[in-house]
């Protein structure tokens, strides 16, 4: 449930976005601590935990034994352990997966029910946050904590912030807001993630794609040098032999529509429509525009026309 009453769910592109506070009700936090928490996560995730600095966050993935992405998550040092922000639709399944591998390790895995997640972006977002807190994150320090509130900084597709706070702190924070601000739900954050090139993986498209097919290599979310993790041999072999056949793209068109996640994407070659990929996420933007995040074959001509199977609307790759 959204933390705000959002009567009209108007979604903006990063260029259009007014100062907006966003309820991230589609995400949850898995908290992992204990003496072996780093060792445990090092054997589970696609990044090298040795390079995760105390004051920075990273995107990463958890893969199955076949190297397919089970989930993507945002990880950072939190309290005495690590926090993993993950799509809520995969939360319970990911908790079960993690707990399978805690035997013989000093690790505790927690569900944080007392935590609220907020996004903040739009015009003068940094100024707004500086009116509330003494220190705010930036490019040199992308994670900062102020008492019980943790804030994360992102540069793409525009400057934006993610706040981790208790419900009590959220109510106090909301009460202190003096300037005019728009309230929205998770769909706005998803649109910004799509624009930034972050793959949107929920339950429907879990365990379908290699991390390279989701552009996680471009996001520095895969280590090809560290020791083993689930799916590592397959992922590395495909990387070193240049065998990956898919990439993540953002498609756009005018108007609005709501195809299902997992729908087939087709491209026109001569007079024929050929199956070329799958839909990961869909948002309808305020300026009468629809965005589709899709995994497509790398061999496509980026000048091609595309459509979603069952729909007539034509899409182009958005630059």
Query: Which tens digits make up the pLDDT trace of 48-76?
Result: 999 999 999 999 999 999 999 999 999 99
50: tokens are: 């040795």
Query: Which tens digits make up the pLDDT trace of 110-120?
Result: 998 889 999 99
Domain range annotation of the chain: 20-196, 211-317
CATH architecture of 20-196: 2-Layer Sandwich (3.30)
Say whether pLDDT at 7 is over 70. Answer: no
Please state the rounded mean pLDDT for residues 251-261.
95
Name the β-bridge partners of 57: 76
**Structural element, H or E, at residue 100:** helix 91-100
- By the 8 A CB rule, do 82 and 60 touch? no
- By the 8 A CB rule, do 150 and 78 touch? yes
- By the 8 A CB rule, do 94 and 86 touch? yes
Annotation: CATH topology of 211-317: Elongation Factor Tu (Ef-tu); domain 3 (2.40.30)
- CA 171 to the chain's CA centroid: 25
**Structural element, H or E, at residue 81:** strand 81-87
- By the 8 A CB rule, do 291 and 250 touch? yes
Share of the chain above pLDDT 70, in %: 97
Token pair 């995107």 in the structure block, residue: 59
CA angle at 248 for the pair 246 and 249, rounded to the nearest 5°: 120
Say which residue, 171 or 318, is predicted with more confidence: 318
Structure confidence at residue 305 as a pLDDT band (50, 70, 90): very high
> Measured between alpha carbons, how far is 177 from 163 in angstroms, rounded to an integer?
15
């Amino acid at each position: 449930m959204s933390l705000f009453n959002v009567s009209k769910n108007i979604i903006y592109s990063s260029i259009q976005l007014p100062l907006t506070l966003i309820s991230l009700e589609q995400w949850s936090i898995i908290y992992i601590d204990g003496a072996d928490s780093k060792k445990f996560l090092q054997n589970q995730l696609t990044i090298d935990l040795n390079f995760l600095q105390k004051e920075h966050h990273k995107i990463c993935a958890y893969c199955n034994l076949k190297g397919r992405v089970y989930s993507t998550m945002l990880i950072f040092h939190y309290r005495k352990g690590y926090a993993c922000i993950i799509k809520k639709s995969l939360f319970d399944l990911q908790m079960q997966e993690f707990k399978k591998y805690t035997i013989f390790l000093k690790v505790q895995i927690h569900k944080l029910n007392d935590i609220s997640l907020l996004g903040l972006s739009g015009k003068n977002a940094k100024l707004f946050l500086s009116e509330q807190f003494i220190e705010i994150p930036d490019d040199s320090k992308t994670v900062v904590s102020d008492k019980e509130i943790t804030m994360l900084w992102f540069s793409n597709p525009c400057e934006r912030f993610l706040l981790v706070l208790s419900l009590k702190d959220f109510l106090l924070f909301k009460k202190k807001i003096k300037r005019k601000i728009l309230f929205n739900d998770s769909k706005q954050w998803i649109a910004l993630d799509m624009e930034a090139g972050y793959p949107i993986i929920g339950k429907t498209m879990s365990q379908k794609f290699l991390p390279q097919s989701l552009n996680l290599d471009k996001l520095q979310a895969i280590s090809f040098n560290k020791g083993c993790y689930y799916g590592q041999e397959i992922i590395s072999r495909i990387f070193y032999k240049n065998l990956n056949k898919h990439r993540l793209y953002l498609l756009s068109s005018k108007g609005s529509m709501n195809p299902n996640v997992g729908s087939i994407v087709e491209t026109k070659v001569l007079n024929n429509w050929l199956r070329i990929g799958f839909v990961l996420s869909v948002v309808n933007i305020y300026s009468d525009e629809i965005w589709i995040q899709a995994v497509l074959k790398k061999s496509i001509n980026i000048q091609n026309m595309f459509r979603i199977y069952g729909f007539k609307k034509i899409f182009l790759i958005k630059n």
